[in-house]
Amino acid sequence: MRYLVTLKSGPMDAPPPQALMDAILALGAEATASGALLDTAGLAPSAMGGARVALADGEITVTDGPFAETKEMISYALYQVRDRAEAVEWAARFLRLHRDLWPDWEGEADVLSVFTAP
């Protein structure tokens, strides 16, 4: 099963600590070697060229970033795993790195099942 994990963060006043970045790279290498991680990337803040395209009442509107949400989507990872529990565990491991190596950081990960053709 494929799962998309998105990471959202509150405002960041400083770049992540190097120890966190090193740990993220190691976790990504482990996930890739296990065959679970298919793709991952960081995302630029919505203020840097982001747009929201919406459909409401038959009208399509485009809103330029930055978006009003208090948390900004900052990265994603696409996993091929046995089940939801395994995808949640990868996401939890990623958040534990943030907790342990960047104590003031707050954010959340959404784990979403990817539809596949029957």
Q: Please write the tens of the pLDDT for every residue from 22-81.
A: 999 999 999 999 999 999 999 988 889 899 999 999 999 999 998 877 789 999 999 999
Residue 65 within any structural domain of the chain: yes
Q: What is the CATH number of the domain that holds 50?
A: 3.30.70.1060
8 A C-beta contact, residue 58 and residue 95: no
Going by C-alpha positions, the residue among 67, 79, 66 that lies closest to residue 109 is 79
Read off the pTM: 0.89
- 66: which residues sit within 8 A by CB, 6+ positions away? 45, 46, 47, 50, 72
If DSSP codes are grouped into helix, strand and coil, which group holds residue 48? coil
Domain that holds residue 83: 2-113
Q: Structural domain tally of the chain?
A: 1
Rounded CA-CA distance 67/30 in Å is 34
Q: Summarize pLDDT for 83-96 with one digit per residue, the tens.
A: 999 999 999 999 99
